[in-house]
Amino acid sequence: MEKVGRMKLGSQGLEVSAQGLGCMSMSNGYYGPGKPEPDMIKLIHHAIHHGITFLDTSDVYGPYANEVLLGKAMKGGMRERVELCTKFGVSLVSGNIEVHGDPAYVRAACEASLRRLDTNCIDLYYQHRIDTSVPIEITMGELKKLVEEGKIKYVGLSEASASTIRRAHAVHPITAVQLEWSLWTRDVEEEIIPTCRELGIGIVAYSPLGRGFFSSGAKMAENLTENDARKAKGVKMTRGPVVARSSLVAWTGQVRLSLAKPGPEPSSGP
């Protein structure tokens, strides 16, 4: 297996592997129970060995457990070989999601992530979701300070509108915007992606295989476990209505047939 190539992400100087490794599902959470920690560390090391060095996590995955896992996987000289990315701004309180972007929260979240990841600097630090109660300029001001202090290298946003991206970028350069982009999530092509390209901001697509529904293997809706959020909550297509699972199975089956051609199977990831 050849190593994955490298590329510039955005225009601020960050170089990453062309393929990233999202670590969310390695810990308890969205896709069901977590996997054995030793196995996940081996998987991460295997990815790094093959050139996949762009690693993605968040403090809300687990919560917290995923960052701790990444921190353990970075032992033995691995940290110097990767681009380590995490996120802040989303917390679970009594089962409810809260979003935060005030300066005190941003700083405390960053310092806590540094401890869990067992590192002195985060390569790319995203605001996971935008706190509309706090002007983005205020949040970015604190992130700029963290860059100046050497605690983070580059700043990113996740699921931000085009106008928010512009306002944030005016305070401190945004290196990357993370968003859902796949065959069934195309609305981002209307404003957000053109804005990023105009401003020289990198685009990091999550769930490019439709949260697993376009990949090979038993990923169809009827095979999902009860504690998999894709079954419990349904799957929203382009932020529209929840699609019935039976219709979803039929639709994804048609997509797979239309894309069928000689060559490797689609990835088994989400």
Residue in this structure with the two tokens 């000689």, named with its chain if needed: 262
Q: Which residues are catalytic?
A: 61
pLDDT the model gives residue 228: 66
Peptide bond into 33 cis (omega under 30): no
pLDDT the model gives residue 237: 39
> Which among 159, 188, 208 is the end of a domain?
208
Same domain, 40 and 129: yes
Same domain, 96 and 162: yes
Structurally, how many domains does the chain consist of?
Answer: 2
Same domain, 10 and 97: yes
Domain that holds residue 161: 6-208
Same domain, 138 and 238: no
pLDDT the model gives residue 214: 73
Same domain, 16 and 119: yes
Is residue 11 domain-resident? Answer: yes
Same domain, 153 and 268: no
Q: What is the 3-state secondary structure (H, E, C) of the chain?
A: CCCCCEEEECCCCEEEECCEEECHHHCCECCECCCCHHHHHHHHHHHHHCCCCEEECCCCCCCCHHHHHHHHHCCCCCHHHCEEEEEECEEEECCEEEECCCHHHHHHHHHHHHHHHCCCCEEEEEECCCCCCCCHHHHHHHHHHHHHCCCEEEEEEECCCHHHHHHHHHHCCEEEEEEECECCECHHHCCHHHHHHHHCCEEEEECCCHHHCCCCCCCCHHHCCCCCHHHHCCEECCCCCEECHHHHHHHHHHHHHHHCCCCCCCCCCC
Tell me the two tokens of residue 147: 């860059």
Same domain, 171 and 192: yes
Q: Partners of 155 in the beta sheet?
A: 125, 174
Is residue 267 domain-resident? Answer: yes
Same domain, 29 and 55: yes
Same domain, 47 and 169: yes
Q: What are phi and psi of 93, to 5 degrees?
A: -125, 110
Q: Do residues 179 and 188 touch, judged by C-beta distance below 8 A?
A: yes
Q: Closest Cα to residue 98, out of 89, 110, 106?
A: 89
Is residue 75 domain-resident? Answer: yes
- pLDDT truncated to tens, each residue of the chain (270 aa)? 789 999 999 999 999 999 999 999 999 867 778 899 999 999 999 999 999 999 999 999 999 999 999 999 999 999 999 999 999 999 988 878 999 999 999 999 999 999 999 999 999 999 999 999 999 999 999 999 999 999 999 999 999 999 999 999 999 999 999 999 988 889 999 999 999 999 999 999 998 887 777 775 444 556 666 666 665 555 443 344 445 555 555 555 665 566 556 555 555 455
Same domain, 15 and 102: yes
Q: Do residues 90 and 64 touch, judged by C-beta distance below 8 A?
A: no
Is residue 1 domain-resident? Answer: no
Residue type, 161: S
